[in-house]
Structure 1
Amino acid sequence: MEKDHQKNQVPKELLVPIKDKENDSEKISGPSRTFMQDARRTFFKNKMAMFCVILLAVIVVFSIIGPGMNEHGLDDQDLSRAKMPPHAPVLENISWLGFDGTLKDEFKGDNVEQATQKAISRYDNQEEFIDIKVLSEGDGSNNSAEVKATYHVYEAKDMSDQYFWLGTDTLGRDQWTRLWLGTRVSLIIALVAAAIDLVIGVAYGGISAYYGGRVDNVMQRILEILVGIPNLVVILLMILVLQPGIISIIIALTITGWIGMARIVRGEVLKLKNQEFVLAARTLGTTNGKIIRKHLVPNISGIIIINTMFTIPSAIFFEAFLSFIGLGMVPPDASLGTLINTGFDNIRQYPYLLVYPAVLISVIMIAFNLIGDGLRDAFDPKMHK
């Protein structure tokens, strides 16, 4: 036992005492991160939010360069090529993708001949350019015959060498060009709505809460009056004065679109204005405007950013809804709402006119909402690790 004990003993020359320094206990082993650095780190970890940021960046780029990516200009209109289906190079060889330049539909009749005749009549009697596939022979009683017709419209119109990537609309205009033009208009309206929220809403709510008293009382009564006016009524009043279009929509958003932001900012400023850092700034003689700009607004920047991100899809949907019911953008001007309206009128025979703008506006709205969710988590201190 004594031998084992001696083996386990450490030589004294290896035992070096540690010198205790006065500030060692308070020394930080690594650089500390600010709240914004933590928020940015949390947001970058959100894979879905980052994917949506990249997706929206691609959509913005295409809204800028998309209309000029083919030879069909903005005013390129020809009724002889109206309602042409999508026809894209390379992809035309994969029929199930729907870019082969054909129109497909199913027709029923008492017998195969009758169903076939309906298909031929539907496609302008261009029998030599129609492929018929019999789906059901029918028995002449309750079960009717059914055929599937494939109309090679580009060949019928001697346009096999022309390509319309997303087809053409009812006036023969290229849908690819108009889709990205419409996206550009919708994004401009969304950005204007966000700017209105940031400028008018933040300023109004901040001033109302900070000064309080009679100022807050008067400003909130004005706000309650504006809340009672629906956006649709404001748009109708704008149409009486102005023509339907982007100006009317922007004015309507300017009148009522910032109210939600103003209320949120007011509530946050009311919680912060009696905090010690604000009282200290007042004691040092800082002006009221500087206190709002330099102290209060930065401390509620997270709430402002998140609410702005949720405002953008609401503005896009607002414009699309107005254009859909004929109170927003008016043809020939393009927006996602007008394209959806045109597609809805032709949904049974030409569904591609509706599918592409509807999918694009859905992707934009979902992406902005997911980014808003990511920002909300990023600015929540509980989510920081």
Structure 2
Amino acid sequence: MEKMKHSSTESAPKELFVLAQQKEDTSEKISGPSRTFFQDARRTFFKNKFAVLSVILLIIIIIMSFVGPTMNDHGIDDQDLARAKMPARVPVLENLPIPGFEGVLRDEFKGSNVEEATNNAYSRYDNQKDFIDIEVLSEGDGSKNSAEVRATYRVYEAKGMEDEYFWLGTDSLGRDQWTRLWEGTKVSLLIAFIAALISLVIGVAYGGIAGYYGGKVDDVLMRILEVLVGIPSLVVILLMMLVLDPGITSIVIALTITGWTGMARIVRGEVMKLKNQEFVLAARTLGQSNKRIIIKHLLPNISGIIIINTMFTIPDAIFFEAFLSFIGLGITPPQASLGTLINTGFDNIMLYPYMLWFPAIMISVIMIAFNLIGDGLRDAFDPKMHK
């Protein structure tokens, strides 16, 4: 049988046989360049359109907080009661059907008849009849408050300021709202960034030491931290008011005293999880100091969670500053912050709501932007999100 197979193979024509060529195995070949973890994180972050848009928006707001106050001739403390509570008026926009920027005060008034409703409108706007346009909405049937009119008060003409423009109006003391809004935004962002930076440094150092050394060091440091956590921030603020004058310094100190505790806890937990990993043991074997191990090996591996937590700390600090200024424990006039502007607008919300709109919109945009950036960074530093 073997002889038959051998003879048949020899008798077969050579054209039927093709020389096999050995090819390189491409099953495990890398088709593209390898990327580091931070390159993957950056790639994932830029895929998040809302986070990227928030970054651009925040950059614009930060730039405008420095440039905005210089865009007109009105200083932050320039007061003139003759121009108090002027509505917003913007060139070009005043001629477009965009409510809120045409430089007029508009409201609706009721009465038992049209004449009474009209007189209510005249008395509301200092009887400037020549500058008040009346539009009858309802003539009524003679019953109480059945007639309704809409009054449009051309306040810039009434005060002889046809050539003046206050882009966001003025406050109760005649100060330009545009200038004060950007100055207040700059102060609020400055307080938030300083408080977040100090909390970052203290929290990372404190949590890193407690988590790395453990034992008695960890017990002592964590008991101190628990005492600080148990003190309400508002109590700390009140104590600061007894020692320091209300202002930026007292707010930053109050935010610093209790603001770093959350960061310290997070860093401590992450360091305790990593300190027994092989790369840390290898560093110890090579004789590296504890300080170098923490700074060069542990902190880079937890930098993602540190950045994310910091991005969420900044809007918390902005809101806390605004809350303190709103209740009168933060920035005091004539200094401006978003909290003081909201407080002034709240006092006039019934008659001049525009004084509240602009600072409220600004603080809302800033806080939403920071939270969207924080969400984007959280997804970017999550290995499960990398594709």
TM range (shorter): over 0.9
Q: Deviations over 1:308-329 (max 9, x none)?
A: 1110110000000000000010
Q: Which amino acid aligns with 2:96?
A: I
In structure 1, what is the Cα distance between the partners aligned to 2:307 and 2:21? 50
Partner of 1:244: 246
Q: What is the RMSD computed on CA atoms of the aligned residues?
A: 1.7
Shift of 1:20: 4.8
Gaps of at least 5 residues in structure 1 are: 1-10
In structure 2, what is the Cα distance between the partners aligned to 1:14 and 1:138? 106
- Return the match for 1:121 from 123, 127, 142: 123
1:19 aligns with 2:52: no
1:337 aligns with 2:321: no
Structure 1 residues 384, 225: CA separation in 2 closer, same or farther (over 3 Å shift)?
A: same
Larger radius of gyration: 2
Partner of 1:150: 152
Matches within 5 A, 1:161-310: 161-310=163-312
In structure 1, what is the Cα distance between the partners aligned to 2:48 and 2:178? 32
Q: Which amino acid aligns with 2:322?
A: A
In structure 1, what is the Cα distance between the partners aligned to 2:246 and 2:21? 81
SS in 1 for 2:344: helix
Q: Deviations over 1:117-170 (max 9, x none)?
A: 111111011110000011111111256111110000000000010000000011
1:57 aligns with 2:87: no
Partner of 2:8: none
SS in 2 for 1:146: strand
Shift of 1:97: 2.7
Q: Deviations over 1:335-380 (max 9, x none)?
A: 0000000000000110010000001100100010011001111111
Shift of 1:29: 3.4
Structure 1 residues 285, 128: CA separation in 2 closer, same or farther (over 3 Å shift)?
A: same
1:35 aligns with 2:37: yes
In structure 1, what is the Cα distance between the partners aligned to 2:125 and 2:31? 77
Preserved contact between residue 91 and residue 97 of structure 1 (Cα < 8 Å): no
Q: Which amino acid aligns with 1:32?
A: S
Preserved contact between residue 62 and residue 186 of structure 2 (Cα < 8 Å): yes
Preserved contact between residue 129 and residue 152 of structure 1 (Cα < 8 Å): yes
In structure 2, what is the Cα distance between the partners aligned to 1:41 and 1:84? 48
Structure 1 residues 15, 384: CA separation in 2 closer, same or farther (over 3 Å shift)?
A: farther
In structure 1, what is the Cα distance between the partners aligned to 2:96 and 2:278? 68
Shift of 1:194: 1.8
Preserved contact between residue 111 and residue 144 of structure 2 (Cα < 8 Å): no
In structure 1, what is the Cα distance between the partners aligned to 2:26 and 2:100? 70
Shift of 1:74: 2.3
1:354 aligns with 2:356: yes
SS in 2 for 1:70: coil
Q: Which amino acid aligns with 1:164?
A: F
Gaps of at least 5 residues in structure 2 are: 1-13
Q: Which amino acid aligns with 2:174?
A: G
Shift of 1:27: 4.7
Shift of 1:75: 2.9
In structure 2, what is the Cα distance between the partners aligned to 1:130 and 1:378? 57
- Return the match for 1:313 from 302, 315, 320: 315
In structure 2, what is the Cα distance between the partners aligned to 1:132 and 1:358? 31
Structure 1 residues 97, 15: CA separation in 2 closer, same or farther (over 3 Å shift)?
A: farther
How many correspondences in the alignment? Answer: 374
Q: Which amino acid aligns with 1:175?
A: Q
SS in 1 for 2:109: strand
In structure 2, what is the Cα distance between the partners aligned to 1:50 and 1:182? 25
In structure 1, what is the Cα distance between the partners aligned to 2:117 and 2:131? 17
Structure 1 residues 25, 130: CA separation in 2 closer, same or farther (over 3 Å shift)?
A: closer
In structure 2, what is the Cα distance between the partners aligned to 1:383 and 1:96? 43
SS in 2 for 1:96: coil
Q: Which amino acid aligns with 2:367?
A: M
Shift of 1:25: 6.6
Preserved contact between residue 95 and residue 102 of structure 2 (Cα < 8 Å): yes
Q: Deviations over 1:241-274 (max 9, x none)?
A: 1111111100001111100000000010010001
Shift of 1:28: 3.1
Structure 1 residues 103, 283: CA separation in 2 closer, same or farther (over 3 Å shift)?
A: same
Q: Which amino acid aligns with 1:19?
A: Q
Shift of 1:13: 11
Partner of 1:101: 103
Preserved contact between residue 113 and residue 145 of structure 2 (Cα < 8 Å): no
Shift of 1:96: 3.3
Shift of 1:24: 6.7
In structure 2, what is the Cα distance between the partners aligned to 1:122 and 1:12? 108
Partner of 2:11: none
In structure 2, what is the Cα distance between the partners aligned to 1:143 and 1:244? 47
Residue identity (%): 75
SS in 1 for 2:98: helix
In structure 1, what is the Cα distance between the partners aligned to 2:66 and 2:101? 24
In structure 2, what is the Cα distance between the partners aligned to 1:269 and 1:62? 40
Give the TM-score normalised by the residue count of structure 1: 0.94
In structure 1, what is the Cα distance between the partners aligned to 2:19 and 2:179? 78
Give the TM-score normalised by the residue count of structure 2: 0.94
Shift of 1:15: 6.3
